[in-house]
Amino acid sequence: MSDKPKILVTRRHLAATEDRLTADYDATLNTDDHIMEADEIVAAADDMDALLICVTEPMDAATIERLPDSVRTVLTLSVGLDHIDTGAAKARGIAVLNTPDAVTNPTAEVGMLLLLGAARRAAEGAAMMRAGEWTSWSPRQMIGKEITGSELGIFGMGRIGQTVAARARAFDMTIRYHNRTRLSFEQEKSASYYTSVEGLLPSSPFLMICAPSTPETQGFLNAERIALLPDGAIVVNIARGELIDDDALVDALRSGKVAAAGLDVFNGEPNDIHPAYLELPNVFMTPHIGSGAERSRAAMGDMLLDGLDLLLAGELVPNRVV
């Protein structure tokens, strides 16, 4: 019998992460990468010391309540914690570790990709070419919006929001933001702080949503707030689908109130996305790939396993949430 820590791994991971899992731990891998429902996870967690989960495995209070006593740690390959009831984990004395920092740069990159792709109509252009419909160059063809020198409103100015701001400054964008708390002078780097989202939106011809999904932020971009945006605004979401009222955004994309959206995250992803997003030409979409870059994904795995090692050694863990 192995005396290595036992860990249940609910999804397939990069080879580097799986190599470390199998070398350093008594790991049970999900070799066919099927989505494990709560019942299966609870049964497979029997005798496990830790679970390595993803955003695809909700750990609500009821599931956490059913976990065997052996499970002392839940590692989530995400910075987002909206799929975990951390209060319930804390109540059972289960540590939760996530992956801040490791996801910051790649997620900000996808933010810029979506901002540019939506503003310059990348989805429409690619679709036109693939359909063989590009017949001639024309002065009126595919006229988009230039981000250079424009204003970018950022809702949520944590690590990712601040990194988006840094990348956008390279395009001479003026940064405005709303955040629960104002950043320090050094962190702000001349960005203008708005104490309310209602104040931010009218000054945001480009809007990037970077805030975590919490009861306070869910449904943030609704019809009333969309009405506050300048006409023809561009909206980007790299946070969570729950922050957007889909019906309201779809209406605005149809009317032109919102000229285009760049979306990496969706309500009901992946199988129950608002059907209009799949049809509207002014939606530039990616399938929740914010942190999906090789170096960062490997760093996410290492951050969790380094944290587990520290925890097992009785040390302080920088990425421990509860």
As a whole number of angstroms, the distance between CA 118 and CA 216 comes to 27
Query: How does DSSP classify residue 205?
Result: S
- To the nearest whole angstrom, how small is the minimum distance from the Cβ of residue 292 to ligand DGY? 8
By C-alpha distance, which of 305, 270, 275 is closest to 286? 270
Say whether residue 80 binds ligand DGY (CB under 6 A). yes
CB-based closest residue to ligand DGY = 80
- To the nearest whole angstrom, how small is the minimum distance from the Cβ of residue 79 to ligand DGY? 4
Window of 74-82, 115-123, 241-249, 310-318 that interacts with ligand DGY by CB under 6 A: 74-82
Say whether residue 79 binds ligand DGY (CB under 6 A). yes
Residue 13 appears among annotated catalytic residues? no
CA angle 126, 127, 131 (to 5 degrees): 120
Window of 13-21, 77-85, 114-122, 189-197 that interacts with ligand DGY by CB under 6 A: 77-85
3 state SS of 260: strand
Strand partners, 176: 153, 192
Query: How does DSSP classify residue 258?
Result: E
As a whole number of angstroms, the distance between CA 100 and CA 160 comes to 10
Query: How does DSSP classify residue 167?
Result: H
By C-alpha distance, which of 199, 196, 251 is closest to 223? 251
- To the nearest whole angstrom, how small is the minimum distance from the Cβ of residue 209 to ligand DGY? 13
Say whether residue 319 binds ligand DGY (CB under 6 A). no
As a whole number of angstroms, the distance between CA 90 and CA 322 comes to 6
**Stretch 144-173 residues interacting with ligand DGY (CB under 6 A):** none
Compare residues 9 and 55 and give the one whose CB is closer to ligand DGY.
55
Say whether residue 244 binds ligand DGY (CB under 6 A). no
Compare residues 63 and 291 and give the one whose CB is closer to ligand DGY.
291
Residue 269 appears among annotated catalytic residues? yes
**Stretch 97-116 residues interacting with ligand DGY (CB under 6 A):** 103
Window of 73-81, 160-168, 184-192, 273-281 that interacts with ligand DGY by CB under 6 A: 73-81
* Among 240, 242, 274, 297, the one annotated catalytic: 240
CA angle 316, 77, 166 (to 5 degrees): 90
Compare residues 161 and 230 and give the one whose CB is closer to ligand DGY.
161
For residue 34, the Cα-to-chain-centroid distance in whole angstroms is: 21
**Stretch 289-308 residues interacting with ligand DGY (CB under 6 A):** 290-291
Inter-residue contact 248 to 220 (CB < 8 Å): no
Q: Dump the DSSP string for 31-86.
A: TT-PPPPHHHHHHHTTT-SEEEE-TTS-B-HHHHHHS-TT--EEEESSS--TTB-H
- To the nearest whole angstrom, how small is the minimum distance from the Cβ of residue 257 to ligand DGY? 28
Q: Which residues are catalytic?
A: 240, 269, 288
Binding site for ligand DGY (CB under 6 A): 55, 78-80, 103, 290-291
